Amino acid sequence: GLDMEFTGLHSVFPVNNKPSLFDSPAEWYLKARQSVQRFTISQFGLAIFSHEKPNKYVVHSYNFFIFPSTFGATDPEFTLSASSIQFLSHYGFDYNKFLKDGIPYMNELQEKSLRQYLLAGSWKVCSVLHRDIMKKAIDEVTSWIAGAKEEETMILRDLCGFQMFEVQLVLRRALQNVWTQPLGDNEVMVKKVSPQHRRLLENSPHDPCRKERILTSARGFTNLFQALVKAKKPLVGHNMLMDLLHLHDKFYKPLPESYEEFKRNIHSLFPVLIDTKALTKSVWKDHPFPRVSNLLEVYEVLCSSDLNPTDPMCPVIVLASGCSRYAVKSSPHEAGYDAFLCGSVLLKVAHLLLCKSTGGTAEADPPFSEYLGVLVKCLNQVHFTGGAVSSINFSGVDVPCRRPPLLVVHVQGWRGLSERHIYHELKTLCRFHIQRLSENQFILQSNKFKHIRLALRDYKDHPHLRISLYRRWRHSPHVSCLLRVCSIVALWSLVAFVLGGAP
Amino acid sequence: GLDMEFTGLHSVFPVNNKPSLFDSPAEWYLKARQSVQRFTISQFGLAIFSHEKPNKYVVHSYNFFIFPSTFGATDPEFTLSASSIQFLSHYGFDYNKFLKDGIPYMNELQEKSLRQYLLAGSWKVCSVLHRDIMKKAIDEVTSWIAGAKEEETMILRDLCGFQMFEVQLVLRRALQNVWTQPLGDNEVMVKKVSPQHRRLLENSPHDPCRKERILTSARGFTNLFQALVKAKKPLVGHNMLMDLLHLHDKFYKPLPESYEEFKRNIHSLFPVLIDTKALTKSVWKDHPFPRVSNLLEVYEVLCSSDLNPTDPMCPVIVLASGCSRYAVKSSPHEAGYDAFLCGSVLLKVAHLLLCKSTGGTAEADPPFSEYLGVLVKCLNQVHFTGGAVSSINFSGVDVPCRRPPLLVVHVQGWRGLSERHIYHELKTLCRFHIQRLSENQFILQSNKFKHIRLALRDYKDHPHLRISLYRRWRHSPHVSCLLRVCSIVALWSLVAFVLGGAP
């Protein structure tokens, strides 16, 4: 199970970047991509479900605060949206843990430039603070080394994070007769050595400043991401499309421009995706559960013995000792808790489906592969909010929805009408998504055939609003503009013909 | 005294937006403006110096955490840069106070759209959290009101910030037979009333939901900014140019495109500016102080009795009771502390200058206007980092520096040379700012005449690098391109002439 908290969802920049219900998945992707490039992940929740004992799953759930890696020549920037800050604050998010103690991470492109930076051996200051700390360290060492004997040592204190590496790299490069070694997390020992000794030490495989070791440190959380990719385990999320975009962008590669390429990449990284939102939406149809979609509510419905009578065969889910507080108290929108909920919902729904498919005679303690078997229709189907498709298929082509037709409203004798007025006029009848087509025409979209029928019937004789089915050929402004151009061309041909025949 | 901490200084977006030493103030302004639009103020320090007793100034110093106002239809976004986060973290900044409890503020443009939003009376959800809270409140009230009698009341709990207003506005608009009233900071009392009673209450000047009251709340910290503007007191900062850009953008109006308009606006808002960085730079010339420029170091130099012998006439600066911790322990880069340092440095330097101008016979307890008198050359001169001018003059035209001439390096027989190579080659001699002019030419800039002389002398006979004075006419690629075009045109004219004469 996996869940993430972000610093923002859909950016208001650039203008008109907000997704609309009319967007196809590819259109939505291009807009969301711009937001993903601006915002970042503040918390990464991972819940690992292990089938340890018969019919029992043990969950290890983790909350990682992560923060873009600051090692190297670039100074990462990211955006916060006020509404996301308020949302997370409401659920008790600790910004100091995120911004002060976040674990670094980088994608493959950033790793490549860090590699080049380390190879080039140049050292670029990108912050005043670092420059001051470096300057102080260099001053201390140069004034000490003049009077020091070989094998004498001194200690630099109060360093933190990547400063530990940077100080050592800079000192070794500047002075051929020193050696450096980290002492704990915040101190570096500097030793005066002979150049021969120095060469020996430099070639030791145990040097903590070897390039590969530095890269492993700088990669930070990305090491865990890569382990996840290698494990090829099913990845479970709830409404996880945005999570997948961030996974790709932050830990793998910057999001490609092509939506299809994004889908292919995610599928090759994570061949088995399960979205519990898409899953429950499709299962709810056949079960008498309340139609909740919020993750915690779904979990509570599935756990409630009234709605979901206890079945002795249902797998028992136990939280490991380090994360038992989740068993006592719900912590919605804490990434580790939501990740735990995702995995639990999946197991419970899979068990329901398995019981149903076997007519209640499921064997005790079925292997997980049997659960995957009954989920087969939902694998790699990720929930999509919008009219064009109901889910995105990561293992193939997206299947378009059978959608109710669009309506068009012609306004007559009611000037200055906006989308908002139309919305208020219609809202007692039904809810439509409304978009202006021209000066006096608006398109209405609804997901319900019933609403379309109601609107057509009730507005048949309205004095100002005439509602009819939208026909692309007749109503699209592009098409009618084309028709007008055609007729103008035809007119001119006629004029030319007449004039041509005149003399 | 005033000081601010920001979420970032110079953005790396858009590309090539980093200020260079070659920038004129107007060029610098256009780049900085883009960064100011992205970043925001996280902490605002204000130290008010009152001349309360003879020769004694009492300081009230305040630290305000501020956060863009979230009331209305927009969801503000701002950017953080990792280096600024690390910088502030190093000095103990508390991000929870900034992001969870920041005081709201808005500039005049934002206030105007909020005013229109309130007038329009429509209500737009811009966050999932708000929508859920509103929905819950409306559900509670509608299910209660059906069975309630007139004058009965109920209480809505767990509201915070602007939700207090939003809930009341929405309920009053939806239901003609309720009245609402805030109870403390987190609760709203809802009362069932008759429509007549409701009309009476609505017209009461004491209604806490009157538009002007809501606007005052939403303006938040901007009310204090406006009081500062009205007070017309001298405003003291250290290296305060960036602070002035943010003041204009966040509390007054979005930064104009024109640099001159920005200067005029700031001058009319704050007619007396004093930048202690520009001030000390000009005073240091005539005093035997160490050339420190960091604010805390400047303050310590001025306080040290060795360097600045105690003068019984020097005004005593006393911290008020609420902020006495600043007297015990220095807290650099805490905005309130730095604001206190600014004002103190100003008073101490002004006293030095006054003593000097009167030959040590200054009267006891001079009025502040006498201090302003000796500072006259430095008033409204704000420090500028760059070669073009040494300070920006907010009360007139900027005076260009008498700058050392630029040099140009011709590279011969040394391929693939970059700015970095040139820098390393020259750095033992002196530091230059280097910019590529063409394939094999680089411009060197230094602020010191001495370095120019040294470089010209030492590289006279270098095998690969020829250094000479830069002449715009000869070296600019535009000019030499123009010359080449001219010569081509001339050649073609000749050809045409010859051909024309041929037959």
The predicted-structure confidence for B140-164, as pLDDT tens digits, reads as follows: 888 898 888 989 999 999 888 888 8
Shortest alpha-carbon distance between residue B140 and chain A (Å): 19
Helix pair angle (B163-174, B128-145), 10° resolution: 40
Cα angle A439-A445-A451, degrees, rounded to a multiple of 5: 120
Find the CB nearest A95 among B8, B86, B95.
B95
CB contact under 8 A, A77 and B78: no
Shortest alpha-carbon distance between residue B289 and chain A (Å): 22
**What percentage of chain A has pLDDT greater than the value 90?**
37
**Are residues A227 and A170 part of one domain?**
no
Interatomic CA distance for residues B347 and B356, integer angstroms: 14
Q: What is the pLDDT of residue A475?
A: 58
In a domain, B490, yes or no: no
**Which of A464-478, B178-192, B274-288, B425-439 is predicted least confidently?**
A464-478
In a domain, A157, yes or no: yes
CB contact under 8 A, A99 and B77: no
In a domain, B491, yes or no: no
CB contact under 8 A, B129 and A90: yes
Residue type for position B373: G
| Distance separating the N- and C-terminal Cα atoms of chain B | 84
- What secondary structure letter does DSSP report for B250? I
Contact A209, A169 (CB under 8 A): yes
CB contact under 8 A, A80 and B75: no
Cβ-Cβ contacts under 8 Å, B66 against chain A? none
**Are residues B359 and B259 part of one domain?**
yes
- B83 close to A (CB below 8 A): yes
**Are residues B286 and B385 part of one domain?**
yes
Chosen domain end from B218, B243, B265: B218
Mean pLDDT of A411-438: 76
**Are residues A453 and A328 part of one domain?**
no
pLDDT in tens, A323-333: 888 988 889 99
Which is nearest to A245 in space by CA: A28, A12, A478? A28
Helix (H) or strand (E) holding A60: strand A56-65
CB contact under 8 A, B80 and A78: yes
Contact B444, B409 (CB under 8 A): yes
Which is nearest to A175 in space by CA: A207, A213, A146, A132? A146
**Are residues B161 and B87 part of one domain?**
no
Cβ-Cβ contacts under 8 Å, A161 against chain B? 86
At which residue do the structure tokens 């204009």 appear? B248
CB contact under 8 A, A129 and B87: yes
CB contact under 8 A, B68 and A75: no
Q: What is the pLDDT of residue B485?
A: 43
- A74 close to B (CB below 8 A): yes
- Cβ-in-10-Å burial (0-12, 13-18, 19+) of B60 comes to middle
**Are residues B414 and B360 part of one domain?**
no
Contact A4, A45 (CB under 8 A): yes
**Are residues B194 and B72 part of one domain?**
no
Cβ-Cβ contacts under 8 Å, A81 against chain B? 75-77
In a domain, A141, yes or no: yes
CB contact under 8 A, B81 and A85: no
At which residue do the structure tokens 């999932």 appear? B128
Contacts of A202 (CB under 8 A, 6+ apart): none
- Tally the domains of chain B: 3
Chosen domain end from B342, B371, B393: B393
- Give the torsion through C-alpha atoms of B218, B221, B224, B226, to 10 deg: -60
Which is nearest to A31 in space by CA: A11, A46, A48? A11
Best residue in A15, A129, A164, A293 to probe B by mutation, most B CBs within 10 Å? A129
pLDDT in tens, A85-102: 999 999 999 999 999 999
**Are residues A329 and A249 part of one domain?**
yes
Which is nearest to B323 in space by CA: B54, B45, B3, B99? B45
Q: What is the pLDDT of residue A122?
A: 64
Q: What is the pLDDT of residue A428?
A: 73
Cβ-Cβ contacts under 8 Å, B74 against chain A? 12
**Are residues A384 and A253 part of one domain?**
yes
**Are residues B134 and B82 part of one domain?**
no
For residue B421, give its domain range.
407-470
- Which 29-58 residues of chain B touch chain A by CB within 8 A? 38
In a domain, A314, yes or no: yes
- A86 close to B (CB below 8 A): yes
Find the CB nearest A95 among B13, B74, B96.
B96
Interatomic CA distance for residues A253 and A262, integer angstroms: 10
Query: Which chain A residue has the Cα nearest residue B424?
Result: A122
**Are residues B380 and B310 part of one domain?**
yes
pLDDT in tens, B217-235: 999 999 999 999 999 999 9
Cα–Cα separations (whole angstroms), residue B417 to A278, B439, B466: 57, 9, 14
**Are residues A226 and A206 part of one domain?**
no
Query: Which chain A residue has the Cα nearest residue B11?
Result: A77
C-beta neighbour count of B487 within 10 angstroms = 10
Cα atoms in the 13 Å half-sphere on the side-chain side of B228: 23
What ipTM describes this predicted complex? 0.79
| Distance separating the N- and C-terminal Cα atoms of chain A | 84
- What secondary structure letter does DSSP report for A91? T
Shortest alpha-carbon distance between residue B214 and chain A (Å): 19
**Which of A254-263, B50-59, B240-249, B485-494 is predicted least confidently?**
B485-494
Q: What is the pLDDT of residue B172?
A: 87
* Residue B495 pLDDT > 60: no
C-beta neighbour count of B170 within 10 angstroms = 16
In a domain, A140, yes or no: yes
Kindly report the CATH number assigned to the domain that includes residue A197.
Answer: 3.30.1370
- What secondary structure letter does DSSP report for B445? E
Q: What is the pLDDT of residue B401?
A: 65
CB contact under 8 A, A128 and B94: no
**What percentage of chain B has pLDDT greater than the value 90?**
38
